[in-house]
Amino acid sequence: MDRKYCEPADIKVYVKGKGILVCQKSLIAYELHSGKIVARGNEAGRKDSNETAIKVLSPIKQGRITDFNCAYKLLEWCLKQSGYKKGFLKQDIMVCVPEWISEIDKKAYEEVLYQICSHPCISTEPFDKVTHNLAYGDVDIFSKKSTKNYRYIIGICKDEPILYAKEQLMDAIKYAKENGMTQKELMDAINKQQ
């Protein structure tokens, strides 16, 4: 399959008392001439990438927000799919992001979520651990934050980590070529780090 977008993150939405209700790819398909969104999530991934009138993009790449507006629209849609209703009394939402993202990346998630809820919480704890804590009322032993207040937990995950690793390796190879390194020099540098 020829993809014009990067390997998308998986977005999961856990609802307290109900479990994981949403598991979608971080993809949006839109019409080029109008900008109208024609598909989101897994359905967007099934759009024909060769169709010139439609563009498919991943607004969350390797756990980082790469397109603010599309990430907002996608996360809002995922929450609606789980039964979240955006109204006068917004509910608190926690998002679990990869631990390696920067403070700037975390701030981007916070800004996106402020458009959806009044008190977003960004956690670098694994989604599975946080949802377990929510289900059983445990306190997160690392951050000491109670998960009890959060009815909705969004997980920015990767169900197929080999695809993420492959994409990151391809990015490294491209960067090395652009800077005059051979593939062997790159692999030697990687092996030295291990």
The domain ranges of the chain are 10-159, 160-194
Quick one: CATH architecture of 10-159? 2-Layer Sandwich (3.30)
pLDDT at 5 over 70: no
pLDDT at 78 over 90: yes
Look at residue 168 in the predicted model and tell me its pLDDT.
66
Q: How far is CA 15 from CA 10, 21, 81, in A?
A: 16, 7, 11
Per residue in 88-103, pLDDT (tens digit) is: 567 789 999 988 889 9
Residue 27 CB partners (closer than 8 Å, separation 6+): 5, 8, 39, 40, 41, 42, 44, 45, 56, 57, 58, 74
pLDDT at residue 39 is higher than 80 = yes
Q: What is the mean pLDDT of residues 19-30?
A: 92
Summarize the confidence of residues 99-113 as an average pLDDT: 92
Question: How confident is residue 6, by pLDDT bands cut at 50, 70 and 90?
Answer: low
Model's pTM, two decimal places?
A: 0.75
Q: What pLDDT shows up at residue 110?
A: 94
- With 80 as the cut, is the pLDDT of residue 50 above it? no
Average pLDDT, stretch 120-124?
90
pLDDT of residue 133: 75
CB 28 within 8 A of CB 189: no
Give the mean pLDDT of the chain: 81
Q: Is the pLDDT of residue 82 over 90?
A: yes
More confident residue, 124 or 171: 124
Residues in the chain: 194
CA angle 37, 39, 40 (to 5 degrees): 100
